[in-house]
Amino acid sequence: MTTTLEQFQSIGRRIASWRRPLLLTHGRADGDAIGSLLTMRAIFRSLGADPQAVLFEPPSDKYVWIDRDDPICVLRWKPPSVESAPPGDAGTGNGRIVELDNIFSCDGILIMDTCAYTQLTPVAERLRAARRAGNPPIVVVDHHVTRDDVADEYMVDESASATCLILHDWARACEWRVDDAARLAMFVGIATDTGWFRFSNTDQRTLRAAAELVGSGVCPNDIYDRLFESESVARVRLFGAAVNGMELHDDDRVAILTVTRSMFETLGAVPADTEDLVNQALRIHTVETAALVADLGGKPQHVIKISFRSKATVDVAALAGQFGGGGHQRAAGARRYGRLDDVKRDVLAALRAAASRPRVD
């Protein structure tokens, strides 16, 4: 539901009183997640606050340049369900390491680009405790369908192409100062979550905001070069290997790609290199629905990343929900513990079953 001016201003007044806000987003942060953190960090600073933006792992090298001179903090944590964590996204960001106890000495929590506890694992128990106590207050800004009882107050707009688009409109409604850093971060978030304005979620509202940001000095050519034309050799080779092994089913309408631990190790690739890989399958004109399963490692059970995409026939948010995940109707994801072959079998079965159902309007 689109947020009204009154809602923007009401919640805006509430968070403007916070002096030590904690800013959070989902694990394996993408461009919209990182852009959201950087946007609100800049805005809170302009309001005289001392915000702390926190990631759960170092950002992918793809995004490090956005805040190279003022990197986001990274939380020190260990997944409770595995003896050793799977390899991280191996970004080389130099963000300060922060401890769990220290980040919760805040007077308000703003969670962006997720409403799901499963995407907030390192801080989930602290957030639940805060919800029970009613302190500190928690506000969520998101554009995904999937929602848990995470916050006291929500600004969820499923019609928005990106969380950064909501933040753009929020800043305008509240007449907050938006500096160059915030404008850059907003554009990165909007551009990446729309596949550089080519996905079906790209609408007039999206393009209007992008045009306004460009008019304020944002340089799309430079951003595109940094995001999409600065790939590592390992990532390009991983794409080639995965596409080469892609399986097609049901008259080539269903596709599944696989990334094994061996592929990561042989090619020198990292989990972040799988970002957008699943979209390669949709380049085939017959493919309507696709999935990627990637073995991220870990002990005693491996973490399997699952990504779903659909052109126009399958609600993949519902599909991801079968695996404990969520997202959008056309793009969603999940994580499972277990053997890659077992997860792949289950994902493929779910894909084929979903593809055989009546078309989603």
* pLDDT tens digits, one per residue of 317-326: 999 999 998 8
R_g of the chain computed on alpha carbons: 20
| pLDDT band, very low/low/confident/very high, at 277 (cuts 50, 70, 90) | very high
Please, which pLDDT band fits residue 360 given cuts at 50, 70 and 90?
very low
pLDDT in tens, 74-85: 998 765 444 334
What's the confidence (pLDDT) of residue 84? 39
For 10-14, 100-104, 319-323, 340-344, which range has the lowest pLDDT when averaged over its residues?
100-104
Confidence of residue 131 (pLDDT cuts 50, 70, 90): very high
Q: Are 5-226 and 233-355 the same fold in CATH?
A: no
Reply yes or no on whether the pLDDT at 1 is more than 70.
no
- Using the predicted structure, report yes or no on whether residue 208 has a pLDDT greater than 60: yes
Tell me what the mean pLDDT of segment 98-111 comes to. Answer: 93
For residues 145 and 269, the model is more confident at: 269
pLDDT at position 299, please?
76
Mean pLDDT for the stretch of residues 193-221 = 96
| pLDDT over 60 at 89, yes or no | no
91-100, 149-158, 180-189, 191-200: least confidently modelled range: 91-100
Parse the chain into domains and list their residue ranges.
5-226, 233-355
pLDDT band at 179; cut points 50, 70, 90: very high
Residue 60 binned pLDDT confidence (cut-offs 50, 70, 90): confident
Q: What is the pTM of this model?
A: 0.86
Compute the average pLDDT of residues 56-82: 83
At residue 112 the predicted structure's pLDDT band, cuts being 50, 70 and 90, is very high
pLDDT of residue 82: 41
- What pLDDT band is residue 86 in, cutting at 50, 70 and 90? very low
Confirm or reject CATH 3.60.9.10 for domain 5-226, answering yes or no.
no
**92-106, 165-179, 211-225, 301-315: the lowest-pLDDT one:** 92-106
pLDDT at 245: 98
Smallest CA-to-CA distance from 163 within 110, 118, 88 is with 110
Once rounded to an integer, what is the mean pLDDT over residues 39-67?
95
CATH code of domain 233-355: 3.10.310.30
pLDDT for 76 equals 84
pLDDT confidence of 359, banded at 50, 70, 90? Answer: low
Residue 282 has pLDDT above 80, yes or no: yes
